[in-house]
Amino acid sequence: MHTPCDSEYETKVAPAQPWNAGAPKINGAMRYGATPGREFLYLVPTVGERPMRFTAEGLPEGLVIDSEKGIISGRAG
């Protein structure tokens, strides 16, 4: 009879990469839904070398992105 300690398997974990190093990468959805007329707040989830500047194309009228913090906010029309 095997017990959990008798396992013949080995677990290997990849080394963690710092969140603030390397090439910029967005780790969130490319599309995100919102209800028209309601407040909207979304922090763009990113990793990569800092400082980082953010831009967004095609945002609905009433939404803006903070270029330093990566936060999309406002009220979509």
pTM: 0.74
Q: Which residues have a Cβ under 8 Å from the Cβ of 51 and sit 6 or more positions away?
A: 68
- pLDDT over 70 (residue 72): yes
Instruction: Give the domains, in start order, of the chain with CATH numbers.
Output: 10-77 (2.60.40.10)
Q: Which residues have a Cβ under 8 Å from the Cβ of 70 and sit 6 or more positions away?
A: 43, 44, 46, 52, 54
Chain segment 38-70, per-residue pLDDT in tens: 999 999 999 999 999 999 999 999 999 999 999
What's the rounded Cα separation, in Å, for the pair 24 and 58?
A: 20
Is 65:57 a contact under the CB 8 Å cutoff?
no
